[in-house]
A and B are shown apart, each in its own frame.
Chain A
Amino acid sequence: MLRKLRTAQDSIRDEASASQDTPANSTVLTYIIVAQARTGSTMLADRLRLAGLGTPYEYLHPQMMNLLWHRLGPKSARIDLQEYMDIVRLNRTTTDGVFGIKCLYTQLLRQLGKPTAIREFILSFDRILLLNRRNKLAQAISAVRAEQTGRWTSQLASTDGAQATYDPLAVSERIHRFIAQDRELAAMKLAEARTVLRFTYEELTNSPNQIWANIERFLGANPGSLSVATAVLQRQRDTLSKNWEQQYLAFLKDGHNMHSDGT
């Protein structure tokens, strides 16, 4: 049966609700998924959660932070990140002692600012999963469409019926941002300091079983635990995305399909 489509805000409210809390379990393994937007990280986190390997939501999402802090925090207005993370860990460690978090790079930047602080935060976890996407154009188009419509996952409804509109400026901005983020993360040299598992959206979608097996080994999970978990999210790339890709490539080469204002 199809689930009723929700908005992104509904989804975050669900994820921050008490129904997702766990009893105060002691933590034996912590991990962080560091991802860019539109790299399959929600699908990955969904599968890890369904396999019982933590509840790796976007705990650094501003709305999530507000909701959890006001429900579980010390009632002060200003969120203390260290205290907040302690509270999240206490309430979201699964019975087998796994605590996971998923962070978009933009969220790390917003909460921690400097690369040194971001690096320190990431290295405070036992395991680091780094996820990016090789096809920057497809990633950028996916990000622009999601931003315009509010449909960040296949399960979410569009915001007020918003339609996607091809915009080469927005696509160019996203490509540039994703390339810059890749470079900033690479400069942190995380792999030199901690056990890191890197993989791409393309590997995740083309060879999922191989990636699940790698992640199981990496997190010390039972073999097969990820591959048997049934995630509900679907790929969103469709003919409109492919059409935008063609338009953008033509635009880069010859300036075709420009807006009336010359852009």
Chain B
Amino acid sequence: MLTASELRAMRVSESLDTCGNACHMSYVVLAEMRSGGSLICDLLFHRKAGVPIEYLNPNYRKDLCSRLKIPNDVCYLDEYVRAIQNLRTSSNGYFGIHCLFRDLSEMGSPEVAVNFLSRFDRVVILTRKGRLAQAISVMRAQQTGRWESGLAASKFGLERFDTLAISAQVYHALQRNRLVHALLAKVDRPKLFLDYESILDSLESVWSDVQRFVELEPVPASDLGSAMRRQADSQSEEFACRYLDFILGRHSVNE
């Protein structure tokens, strides 16, 4: 099992480069944290529709900017995306990026974010209805470093119930959601809105919609060999019950 930093090192390495292919279809999977964005991107990768990873994640960006010899600064965002497109467009002409709502909200200005989104042919938007489950998932991933099911927990990553962390995640997710929806209203590109709960209900149906949207011949998800699995478990449910008890004042005094 890899740790998150080992996975990042692999993903930014030359091993995933597909240099010099012309781009015929570019897309961005714009996702909230813990909304199934990594799964959809993993399926797109296995479907050979580009290498859609989190190129805007500050750590990925730092590593890639260093590799590409581009200043790691929002002023050079266009140049950076062009360079990534040149580096990671697959032989069938697909180029994709996995972008988190957080990345978009940290671009400095709404104009920069709108311009960024407008450069793609397709925009896939992924959100999650269950805000509490989402917040708990973010908290657990932050504590353990297990952002994906295939990752090993970081050495010191102990899980603990933390009301402040959960309340912060609920608040920030809503704040970003509102901001991103305001930005999307200004982006004149075809958009596909999806949610995590639909993926849980029927992955094949959602995956089929995604493929159709980016003009791929449909191939069932089950044929693609993605190793990603759902991470929520009884611990998540217990944390959810404890948080609800807490905000309703039904907790023990010491909690």
Contact = CB atoms under 8 A, between A and B. Distances in A.
Contacts of A256: 129
Contact of B174 (A138, A172, A202): A172
B128 A255 contact: yes
Nearest to B176: A263
The A interface is mostly helix, strand or loop, or mixed, namely helix
A169 interface: yes
Given A261-B181, A263-B181, A254 B168 contact: no
Interface string A128-141: 00000111111000
Contacts of B251: 134
A172 B167 contact: yes
Given A135-B247, A137-B248, A169 B174 contact: yes
Contact of A261 (B168, B178, B240, B249): B178
Contact of A172 (B164, B170, B195): B170
Contacts of B128: 255
A136 to B, nearest CB: 4
Contacts of B249: 133-136, 138, 202
Interface in B235-251: 240, 244, 246-249, 251
A143 B211 CA distance: 46
Contact of A263 (B168, B178, B247): B178
Contacts of B195: 255
Contacts of A251: 131
A51 interface: no
A172 B174 CA distance: 8
Contacts of B127: 262
A162 interface: no
A109 interface: no
A183 interface: yes
A180 interface: yes
A255 to B, nearest CB: 3
B105 to A, nearest CB: 14
A202 B251 CA distance: 13
Contact of B132 (A136, A138, A183, A252): A252
User: How big is chain B's contact interface, by range?
Assistant: 20 to 34
A255 B246 CA distance: 19
Given A134-B251, A262-B177, A263-B174, A254 B244 contact: no
A172 B167 CA distance: 7
Greatest chain B CB density within 10 A among A135, A261, A262 is at A262
Contacts of B164: 176, 179-180, 183
Interface string B146-166: 000000000000000001100
A245 to B, nearest CB: 8
B171 A172 contact: yes
B2 to A, nearest CB: 32
B178 A169 contact: yes
A40 to B, nearest CB: 13
Contacts of B175: 169, 173
B58 interface: no
A254 B178 contact: no
A249 interface: yes
A252 B244 contact: yes
Contacts of A255: 128-131, 195, 197
Interface in B71-112: none
A12 to B, nearest CB: 29
Contacts of B163: 179
A169 B171 contact: yes
Contacts of A258: 129
A54 interface: no
- Tell which of B128, B195, B246 has the most Cβ of chain A within 10 Å: B246
A186 to B, nearest CB: 11
Nearest to B180: A262
A252 B138 CA distance: 15
Contacts of A179: 163-164, 167
A174 to B, nearest CB: 9
Interface in B207-255: 240, 244, 246-249, 251
Given A133-B249, A202-B249, 19 more contacts: A135-B247, A136-B246, A138-B249, A172-B171, A172-B174, A173-B171, A175-B171, A176-B164, A176-B168, A180-B164, A251-B131, A252-B130, A252-B131, A252-B170, A252-B244, A255-B131, A255-B197, A256-B129, A262-B181
7 contacts: A172-B167, A176-B164, A179-B167, A251-B131, A253-B132, A255-B131, A261-B182
